[in-house]
Amino acid sequence: MTRDDQNPANADDEQLLLLPDDLRHELKEPLGPIETDASRLLEAVDGPLIAVGDVVTYHLLEAGHQPDVALVDGRTKREAVDDEIRDAVTSGASIEVRNPPAELSVPVIRALRRALSTDEPTTILVDGEEDLVALPAIVAAPEGASVVYGQPGEGMVHVEVTDDHRSEMRDLLERFEGDTERFWALLEADETDS
């Protein structure tokens, strides 16, 4: 496993964007249809699959589908996931990064870009919180890809990546606090640039 946040000298440089309190309510609404059956959800997937969350990733694996990119943090609803889920979703972790709650950090965005640019399934183990990474994943994933994340107490939200979804996420991310210019530069960089 590689760590993608090896430069402690840049500790202040880690945070890119911070979720402002006034945007939290907007993120409570699902960005797509909610499904409780992973097999049925997978029938609608036609292209790369990005899973955000331990329980979502676990259900997709149980349904026999390894996500192309999975982001997990060992927690669900702010509690540790049980051992069976943790073992299943972290066994193939290939990148480990820090990303504090309610933030998007440099390491997690670099890891997302790297994972999206490889043909091998990639699991990113996040020390902190991975929830918000669904937003830049929708922007950076190719047309027709699927981003799936958990809606607590309801199921799995399936977002098929389209120009409209990308535009909606761009507008939302522009309203975060922090260095949006650097965020976009990192998110949209060629993997060879970073």
Please enumerate, by residue number, every residue annotated as part of a binding site: 54-56, 73, 130
C-alpha angle 148-109-57 in degrees, rounded to nearest 5: 25
* Unique residue bearing structure tokens 């499904």: 35
Taking the C-alpha atoms of residue 105 and residue 179, their distance in angstroms, rounded to an integer, is: 10
With DSSP H G I counted as helix, E B as strand and the rest as coil, what are the percentages for the chain, rounded to 5?
Answer: 40, 25, 30
Residue type, 75: R
Q: Would you mind telling me the total number of residues written for the chain in this entry?
A: 194
Q: Which residues lie below 8 Å from residue 105, measured CB to CB, with a gap of 6+?
A: 5, 14, 15, 16, 97, 98, 99, 128
Question: Under a CB-based contact definition with an 8 Å cutoff, are residues 133 and 104 in contact?
Answer: yes
Q: Residues forming the annotated binding site for GTP?
A: 54-56, 73, 130
SS (H, E, C) 118-166: CCCCEEEEEEECCHHHHHHHHHHCCCCCEEEEEECCCEEEEEECCHHHH
